Structure formats: structure tokens, C-alpha cells
Amino acid sequence: MPIESKLPGVGTTIFSVMTELARTHEAVNLGQGFPDFPPPARLTEALARAVADGHNQYPPGIGVAALREQIAAQTAARDGRAADPATEITVTSGATEAIFAAIAAVVRAGDEVIVLDPAYDCYGPAIALQNARAVHVPLSPPSFAIDWQRLADAITPRTRMLIVNTPHNPTGAVLSAADLEALAGLLRDTEIVLLSDEVYEHMVFDGAIHQSVSRHSELVERSFVIGSFGKTYHCTGWKIGYCVAPPALTAELRRIHQYLTFASFAPAQHALAEMLAFEPEHHRGLAVFYQARRDRFRELLAATPLRLLDVPGGYFQLVDYRDVRDVDDACFCQWLVREAGVVGVPLSPFYESPPDDRLLRLCFAKRDATLEAAAARLARLPANG
């Protein structure tokens, strides 16, 4: 029976494709963004206790109360805003579900959603499934800053939502306090909803402070703010995320959430609540932890013909490979797996209209041995090969 696809242009994600290539070629996988080291011991022990203590049935659909309370405490301590656990915080099955639910909650057929390219690949399909249109505005390399004039020019009477991502995947760019002020000025006197994807919130480097939209009194009243425990606690397979939003937006998000997953993995929620309460130094120390990995990886890559872009946040390093081969990024990634045994991710899938850049994303959320093995292979790349 013929079926007309709702997402005819969507195939398997680039992350799954590259990870499968890593398995096939037994390559060092710096492609998909997951750590290859374990979660904190307290967290895994707390998970086992939660299972043993019987937390194995449906939790509250909006999330276990203790976890929502800890999210509220973390937000208040960092951003100075006391979110209400009952009406403003929802636990979801990963950040991807939270993003989909937020888009589905407020975006309707014929609406426009502004996306800043390069953009994480789950935004576009979620927009398309609402019969809405993604309007792509490119960021400005090499810093990948927002081009404020281009962004202003993209706003129309149909614009319903703007999606921002800080720290940014795949580039590592971060928004500043001045950027938040500019955003507030741009959105003032409009009814545009802001979706702020902040899953790398604890990974901002070189003494900078994560500028969550929760810190801005004007923006927070129109924003869905998305977080991810998988990124924070090295447990991406647990798929526990959350959304902080004002009561009216939260109510609409929860209408969608209850029919997507209804509830999320109960034992993990209890374990995460314990971790946040008794070991807050973990998430507070992530910036130092990952900056050391960034710096070590950059030191190792200095012996390769790759050019390194700055990494203000997140756990990805962009490299310019034009001194190795002058081919498009998809071809280069395939060649790199076969010839060097290292997997990265091309940037072109993050764009609607990819520029003619020669950039590759490498994940440094890995053990020292993994980074050293990858760098040793990359050091053997021929210049202008």
C-alpha cells in the first residue's frame, strides 16, 4: 500500500550513520556526542537503590516531585529565578522530547519558526510535522555569532517561534549577556515564543558564565528553556531531560507531553534527584572538567594538519580540514573513516543550505586514551593529500 511520508526528506540521522561506520571500520568514534566514561558512582548506586526500593511503576506524568524541586533549586542558585516546581517545570524523556513538545504546543499550520544554522537536526522535522515552515538564518563563521540584521529581516507577521541554542551544537558558540539584551529588544512588542536549547548549560569555558534566558527577566516570560541530564551526568542513554517555562507555556507543553511519553523512566528520576541534592559539586565542576579535556585535545591536535576553531562551550571541537583534502565534508568524513580510522560528523546536515566550508565536528567528551588514539591517527594525515 503506498504511503505518503510526512517527512519525505528525512532519512537516518547523521549521528546514527557515522556511529554505524565507526562499528563497521572499528574506528575511533568522535562523531556521536556521548561520553565513553561512566556516570558518577553515586548516581548509578542511587539508580540501583531506586529500583530495589520499588520505584518501578508510572511516576507522575510531569515528573517526580523531588526532581522538579531540585531543578528549581538549581535554577534559582545559578540564574536567580525561582521557578515553581508545580507549574513551571516538566521532566521529559530526553531534551529531544521536550523540544518536540514545546514546538507542537504553540506552533500551528502556516506559522514560521526561525532556526539559526547550523542547527541541531531535530528542530526541522518537529516544525514540519506541525505543517509550519522553518526559516533558516545562518550564523556568522568563524565565531558563529548571530547576524542581528539578518535575524530581524527574517521576522514576519507569521513568525511564531525563534529557536536558540547555547552553548551551541555543533559550533560551541555561546550567547552573552549582550546577546540576551539584543534578543529582548528584537522580540519586544511581538508574540514570538523563544525556545532556548541549553543542554550543554554547565559546559561554558574560560571563566565565562552560562547566560541562560532564565537570567533575563523579560525573555523568561516568553521562553521554553530545555535541559538534559544525559549531558550533565554522562548518561545519555537514560534519556531524561526537562523544560522550564512560565505556567501558561508549561500547561500547553504538558498537554502534548502526556500523549507523547506520558512519563519518563522513574528510577532514573529518583536517582537524579538524589544526585542533585547530595553531590551538587558534580554539575558545578563540569566546566573545569570539560575545559581540561578541550585543552588536552587541542594540544594533541596541534600535531595534525587540521586547523582548530575556538571552543567557548559544549563538548565539540570544530576543525578546518582544507589543508588535508579539498572535498566536501560528507566525502571527507567517509575518507577519514577508511584512511585514518577516525569518525567525525560533517557540518552540512546541520544546514538547510550548507556553505562551501571545510569543517568537521569532533567530540572530546572521551577518555584520555580515546583522544590520544584518535589524535595519533589524525597526526598521520597527509597535508594536501
The domains located in the chain, with CATH, are 14-39+284-378 (3.90.1150.10), 41-280 (3.40.640.10)
Output the pLDDT for position 384: 74
CA dist., res. 329 & res. 291, Å (int):
26
Q: Which of 280, 278, 266, 202 is nearest to 238 (CA)?
A: 266
CA dist., res. 213 & res. 100, Å (int):
19
Output the pLDDT for position 15: 74
Residues in CB range of 284: below 8 A, 6 or more apart:
202
Q: Which of 148, 154, 162 is nearest to 115 (CA)?
A: 162
Output the pLDDT for position 32: 84
Model confidence pLDDT, tens digit, residues 324-336: 999 999 999 999 9
Write out the H or E segment, with its range, that includes residue 134: strand 133-138
C-alpha neighbours within 13 Å on the C-beta side of residue 358:
13
Regions of the chain where pLDDT drops below 50: none
CA dist., res. 335 & res. 338, Å (int):
5
Output the pLDDT for position 385: 54
CA dist., res. 30 & res. 328, Å (int):
19
Output the pLDDT for position 368: 96
pTM recorded for the entire structure: 0.96
User: Dihedral (C-alpha) 240, 246, 251, 254: value to the nearest 10 degrees?
Assistant: -10
Amino acid 325 reads: R
Output the pLDDT for position 10: 82
